[in-house]
Structure 1
Amino acid sequence: MMLACILMFSLFIDQTMSDYMREHEEEMALQEAKVVARFVSLLPGDFSPPPQQIGVKSERFAALHREIGLMAATIGARITIIARNGLVLGDTDMSYGQLLHAANHAKRPEVIQALEHGFGLSERRSATLDINFLYSAVPLERNGIQMIARVALPLKHFYQQQNNLREILVIGAAFGMLFIIAITFWLGRALAKSIQSREERLDSQVRERTSTLSALQELGSLLAICNNLPEAGEILESHLPQLLPGVSGALALMNNSRNLLVVSHEWGGTWKKGEFKSPDSCWSLRKNIVHHSRKNELICKHLKDKGKINAVCIPLMAQGEVVGVIHLKETPKRPFTDMELDIAKSIGKETAIAVSNLKLRETLEQQALLDPLTRLYNRRYLEERFDSFIASADREEMPFWLLMIDVDHFKKYNDQFGHDAGDFVLTQLAKLFHQHTSATHTACRLGGEEFAILMSGIPHEEAMAFSEALRLSVENLPFMFEGRPLGEVTISAGLASYPQDGDRLSSLLKTGDERLYVAKHRGRNQICDAALVEMNRKKDATD
């Protein structure tokens, strides 16, 4: 009778614990599905379902495949993201080819339950793996589009735990009821603690991954609104140590001649700002992929310092063009993890796009502000910079000078020698102006044969001395075009000043033009300032 009671009680305990363990297994599966749904809902990008299953080959689903793969490796389960219409947007146990031809999941019981009741559970046996799986599914919403996150957990561990429990119950039946109750209570506490620990670990990993994604989004947003390359370098210098703590690195950009990489920014003190190297010295550029330089392996030639050997080079490519490289140094004791490499690659993509856009913007700005023939600044540049010249003059309490220049008898060069000869004269004059102007001088071509030079921070005597020296340099400059002398070239100029002759560009240009024409009427090849105009006025009054 006692044996029968113990046997019946053991069967009751077995059924009760099996139900309890199954309930917890289902609860854990649903919790993991909810964690995956929350993680996917926070991912950036457009995952709107395509009209057909083959549409998932679109590049916009690459980030989804990568991220759920990392999550699946973390939780040890199969993850599937399903559209409301049953299309499979991502599955961690399917190859890319299998995914493109995946069967429609709209009729899966767990999917139907999730859409109808907010969660779904079902158990099926995998014909391929010959293993029973517990499928849990919950709905999620991204940008107004409803999807289903499904997690598949193998039940072999559950059955193993169930078998172990039965063995314990058989042994416990021999030792008595109290021992069986104690073991049952201990197993319940252990299972609850395991579930709680796993949930806490998953939440921590989701928070960490979400924080990293937010930081990457912030970095991309800041790079997108940079005004110039130095700003972009400063942002990388300040944000990369936050995304990759303890990692030193450098940003090297391709120069305009595209024959050197120059280190523009560095963090961690491993590289030296201003260093330059040949693009061929970096294997990442030659292979167009991320390259590891480690001891006894293929090492980039630009890593001459043995302290830099453990390095990762990330090529910056935009629209098929190399714009630079990001160098990161890893320590031998702690190589980069796969997640850190994924972060570094994402940083490289954002940086490449930003650098390419900024270089394009600089090129367009130069084209808008430079005269295409002489490469001097144009009138638009003069108009945009005029306020800064006024501010500088007011701050230093020094006048600035506008020298209006016109080439004497320029029409004859076009008439006698052709327009190519006229263009040659203008380009030679531009080179001469470049040679004579300093950091406080700005030379511009206003149009045709008219030029202007802005001079700041000097008194009247120096402005006249500079103008006269420039006139003499032009007069003494030999002009030979296609082996033929063009004859003597001279200039006439009028000198106006701020604030004596006005506080607007139009006023100074008008005054400079008037004095320029005085110089023309006086015989050309001379400089006219306010003093010469006054002398002419007195002479005319006397006559």
Structure 2
Amino acid sequence: MSKSPSISHQVTNYPILALIFLAFAGIMLSKTAWQGSTEPRQQLGKTQVEVASLAESIAERQTTLLTESRHLLKVLGGVTVSDLHGTWNCDALLSRQLESFPEYDNLAFASSDGLIRCSALPWQQSTEQIAQQLALNAPNSLSISSMYLTDNSLLLSASNIAPSGQKVGSVLAQISANRFLHPAGVRLPSNIQIAILNHNGNLVAAYPSQTNWNSITHKDNSFIEALINLKNENATALKAPDGVTRLYTAKAVHGASHELTLIVGQTVENEANTLTTNNNLAFGGVILTSLGMSGLLAVFISMLLLRLKNNRLLLLKTYLSLNNFLTYTRQYFSLFFAKVAMPQNNESNSGLIRQSDYDSLKQSLAIQEEHSRHIERLDQLSQSLQSCVSNADVASAVALCTKYFFPVSSGALLLKTGSNKAGVLLKWGNNIEDALLIKDYQNILQNRLYPAVEVHTATNAAQLPIRLTKSLWIPLITHNEILGALHITELDVLEHKNRQEYFHWLANSIAERAAIALRSAKQQQKLRFKATRDVLTGLYNRRFMEETLIIEERRALRRGSHIGIMMLDVDHFKHYNDTYGHDAGDTLLRTVGELLRKTVRKCDIPCRYGGEEFVIILPGADLKDTSQRAEMLRMAIEKLSIQHNGQALAGVTVSIGAASFPQNGDAWQSVLKTADQALYQAKHAGRNRIAEPACLP
């Protein structure tokens, strides 16, 4: 007796468990079907874009080919065949034209009665018969034969007009239908169908064959008319008369006497079937879920009514809760069916994706392509900056790239010259005063207003509306060092307000590369300075002197000119070192080197030969000019007032030996040795004087 209630309770729970399992199975089935439909839906959207893009590309190429054909046949139509002196010359003329236009299979002249007079290549019999029929009816403008030839060709014709204006025949051109429908450079999928229809909707040509096209359409005029009406729409899913679902699109082809229509279709049967199957499964899942939940609801209501038979208030609350539950369930199913149901071909939704979605996708692809081009241009800037060896080269490359990204803007590249100083390295666009640029740069640097400042500009305060422009200041920073700034102005905020961040990114990308290149040029300049300059005096070193003398010697021999060489030595230099210390000696050498840099001509080359000896190269100076220049240097050094740690280094003098090429030697080595000998002669004669080779015993 004790087991009886338990058994009865279990029997009662079995239907409830079955209903719960049914509802759960329906939910899982709907979820799986929805997930399975995501990939084919995305593939359909991708195929739709590809078909539309392919059709547009083919239509553009066909329009170009027809335009070129119109021009060629117009030129040939003005040729008088009787003036070509025989059929052979006529054939040769057409053969040369055929070589220049590889798109054509053949060219021919036909008489007014339709007979072929001459051609570039022999005609096949079937083609020649149709060509004769077309020649009889050739209009005064380019036309395309509406006949589909047995050898899969298109015929184009134009009238052959004599100088008197009378029609004497026609010019014919033959083009392979496959070449016309499948232009070179266009890759076609294997499951593609292409057709050209004339203005009457009749078939002109088809790819891969006319038989294939006829088997698809079954010459269904209503279906063909529906295809032609797709010219203003995107690729649309249509079920052809052969029962296969394809994405079709239509494009207008211009250039012939009457507008042609290009039809492109691609099979999407697998994706459509998969999507339909998943929709059916999702619908079945919804039915199972509905049955399970309805059964549970019925059981729940029955039990509730039995227990709450005498409690009307609680019964009313239960009724209201149930009503809300049914309302939410109905809204959920409505939303679910709206998402899952496959779009139908009607006026409001004629494609698998809406026009707004397609335009958004097309705009997104255009932005991605633009971004790729900009990245490629930045890479080109990086490569060009690697070969820059000076600040001027860097500025030119940066200005060129900036004008590419911001074509209507103006700008400048400023280079830091001191702690709070800068100089304008390069400007482009509208003329901006250097002083204003430097002042703005200093204010921005001091107030740290990087990276951008908005500026209102107007010629008159009462002038309305005020034009709002964008002025960007981007610092050139590398290794925590500010090298300068990139300034870009004349950017219209209203035009580019939605892409300000992207423009800032472009400007900062240019600035980063410019900063790295300027630092590299600065380091290279330091290396060149160390390789060619004496560290103490700043004059050229001995190695640079020898390389320069080699070049100047060849130049002097080629021009028949002179090279003056003077060798200079500080008198009693050891006395200054011993009396005042080596630091004082360094100060003396630095001062003499600075005087030499300021006193010599720009074309002269002052060098430190070693120790307290200096060599000055004077291109174009003979011995007399060299001695005069040496005397001026000796007098200038004699007047020097050199201070070191508050002590005056008095009585600084130099002795100088002068020589000239080729007066004092047939090579620069011998002339330099002669100048050295003259220097020692000046020292032995009492110092603080000039000596020439002629003074030597």
- With normalisation by structure 1, the TM-score equals 0.59
Could you report, residue by residue, the CA deviation over 1:24-80 in whole angstroms, capped at 9, with x for unpaired residues? Answer: 622167789x9xxxxxxxxxxxxxxxxxxxxxxxxxxxxxxxxxxxxxxxxxxxxxx
Report the residue type matching 2:426 in the other structure. Answer: H
Which of the numbers 411, 417, 428 marks the counterpart of 1:249?
411
CA 1:268 to 1:411, structure 2 compared with 1: closer, same or farther past 3 Å?
Answer: same
Does the residue aligned with 2:456 lie in a helix, a strand or coil?
coil
Answer yes or no: is 1:473 the counterpart of 2:606.
no
Q: CA deviation at 1:471?
A: 1.6
Alpha-carbon distance between aligned partners in 1 of 2:608 and 2:583, rounded to the nearest angstrom:
18
Q: What is residue 225 of structure 1 aligned with on the other side?
A: 387
Q: Do residues 27 (structure 1) and 43 (structure 2) align?
A: yes
- Secondary structure of the residue that 2:423 maps to in structure 1? strand
Q: Are the structure 2 counterparts of residues 23 and 193 from structure 1 closer, same or farther at C-alpha, using a change threshold of 3 Å?
A: farther
- Residue 266 of structure 1 contacts residue 272 of structure 1 at CA under 8 Å; is this kept in 2? no
Contact kept in structure 2, 1:474 and 1:491, CA below 8 Å: yes
Q: State yes or no: 1:287 paired with 2:416.
A: no
Amino acid at match of 1:318: T
Q: Is residue 625 of structure 2 the alignment partner of residue 450 of structure 1?
A: no
Indicate if the aligned counterparts of 2:553 and 2:668 stay in contact, CA closer than 8 A.
no
Q: 1:207 aligns with which of 358, 369, 372?
A: 369
The equivalent position to 1:422 in structure 2, one of 585, 594, 604, is 585
Structure 1 residue 309 displacement after superposition: 6.1
Paired amino acid for 2:452: H
Q: State the distance in 2 between where 1:195 and 1:385 align.
A: 71
1:331 Cα deviation from its structure 2 partner = 2.4
Counterpart AA for 1:231: D
The counterpart of 2:474, out of the listed 314, 319, 334, is: 314
**In the aligned structure 2, how far is the partner of 1:163 from the partner of 1:209?**
36
Indicate conservation of the 8 Å contact 1:261/1:278, yes or no. Answer: no
Asked if the contact 1:264/1:274 (under 8 Å) is kept, the reply is no
Write the distance in 2 (CA, Å) between the matches of 1:526 and 1:324. 49
**Equivalent position of 1:103 in the other structure:** none
CA–CA distance in 1 between the matches of 2:508 and 2:378?
Answer: 11
Asked whether the 8 Å contact 2:475–2:484 carries over to 1, the reply is yes
Determine the C-alpha separation between the residues in 2 that align with 1:352 and 1:291: 18
Counterpart secondary structure, 1:253: strand
AA of the residue aligned to 1:315: P
Between the aligned partners of 2:556 and 2:421, the Cα distance in structure 1 is 39
- Aligned 1:393-432 pairs, distance under 5 A: 393=556, 397-432=560-595
CA gap 1:419/1:283 in 2 versus in 1, 3 angstroms = closer
Distance 1:285-1:324 versus aligned 2 partners, 3 A rule: farther
Query: Could you tell me which amino acid in structure 1 is paired with residue 432 of structure 2?
Result: W
Cα 1:494–1:281 change in 2 (3 A) is closer
User: What displacement does 1:404 show?
Assistant: 0.7
Once the two structures are superposed, what CA deviation does each residue of 1:485-514 show, in whole Å capped at 9, x if it has no partner? Answer: 545332222223234445765444323212
Alpha carbon RMSD of aligned pairs, Å?
4.0
Q: Partners of 1:249 and 1:372 in 2: how far apart?
A: 38
- Aligned AA (2:512): K
2:543 counterpart residue number: 380
- The alpha-carbon deviation at position 216 of structure 1 amounts to 0.3
Shift of residue 456, structure 1, vs aligned partner: 2.0
> What's the counterpart of residue 345 of structure 1?
508
Question: Which residue matches 2:685?
Answer: 522
1:163 is aligned to 338
Q: Is the 8 A contact 2:389 2:521 kept in 1?
A: yes
Tell me how far apart the structure 2 counterparts of residues 427 and 319 of structure 1 sit (CA, whole Å).
32
Q: String of CA shifts for 1:60-108, please: whole Å, max 9, x gaps.
A: xxxxxxxxxxxxxxxxxxxxxxxxxxxxxxxxxxxxxxxxxxxxxxxxx
What amino acid sits opposite 2:574 in the alignment? K
Percent sequence identity over aligned pairs: 28
Q: CA deviation at 1:235?
A: 0.9
What whole-Å deviation, never above 9, does each CA across 1:303-324 have from its counterpart, x for those lacking one? xxx9996311111111111111
2:533 to 360, 363, 370: 370
Larger gyration radius, structure 1 or structure 2:
2
Aligned to 2:290: none
Which among 596, 619, 625 is matched to residue 433 of structure 1?
A: 596
Distance in 1, Cα, partners of 2:389 & 2:666: 30
Structure 1: distance between partners of 2:694 and 2:374: 69
Aligned position for 1:236 = 398
Whole-angstrom CA distance in 1 between matches of 2:556 and 2:42: 78
For residue 115 of structure 2, what is the aligned residue in structure 1? none
- Code of the residue aligned with 2:390 in structure 1: it is N
Q: What letter corresponds to residue 590 of structure 2 in structure 1? A: T
Q: 1:199 to 1:424 in 2, by over 3 A?
A: closer
Which blocks of at least 5 consecutive residues in structure 2 are unaligned?
1-33, 51-333, 458-465
Asked if the contact 2:455/2:468 (under 8 Å) is kept, the reply is no
Give CA deviations for 1:262-306 in whole Å, capped at 9, x if unaligned: 22112212424686625763436743741222339xxxxxxxxx9
- Listed one character per residue, the Cα deviations across residues 464-493 of structure 1 (whole Å, up to 9, x for unaligned) are 111112122333445565555545332222
Q: Deviations over 1:115-171 (max 9, x none)?
A: xxxxxxxxxxxxxxxxxxxxxxxxxxxxxxxxxxxxxxxxxxxx96952897x99xx
Hey, what's the Cα distance between the residues in 2 that align with 1:450 and 1:162? 98
Separation (CA, whole Å) in 1 of partners of 2:356 and 2:36: 14
How many matched pairs? 372
TM-score where L is the length of structure 2 = 0.47
1:232 partner SS: helix
Amino acid at match of 2:405: L
Structure 2 vs 1, CA of residues 333 and 205 (structure 1 numbering), >3 Å: closer, same or farther? closer
* CA contact 2:533–2:539 (8 Å) conserved in 1: yes
C-alpha displacement of 1:197? 5.3
Q: Counterpart of 1:327?
A: 487
> 1:531 is aligned with what amino acid?
A
Counterpart Cα distance in 1 of 2:572 and 2:629: 23
Q: 1:311 to 1:504 in 2, by over 3 A?
A: farther
Report the Cα offset of residue 356 of structure 1.
1.6
Quick one: distance in 1 between partners of 2:631 and 2:535?
Answer: 27
Letter in 1 for 2:591: Q
Larger RCO, structure (CA 8 Å, separation 6 or more): 2
How far apart, CA to CA, are the structure 2 residues paired with 1:232 and 1:442? Answer: 28
Query: 3-state SS of the aligned residue for 1:334?
Result: helix
Shift of 1:248: 1.7
Check conservation: 2:412, 2:488, Cα contact below 8 A.
yes
SS of residue in 2 equivalent to 1:452: strand
State the 1:370 CA deviation. Answer: 2.9
| Residue 422 (structure 2) aligns with | 261
Shift of 1:228: 0.6
Which residue, 266, 273, 277 being the options, matches 2:438?
A: 277
Contact 1:223 1:354 in 2 (8 A): yes
Alignment of structure 1 residues 9-28 onto 2, 5 Å? 25-27=41-43
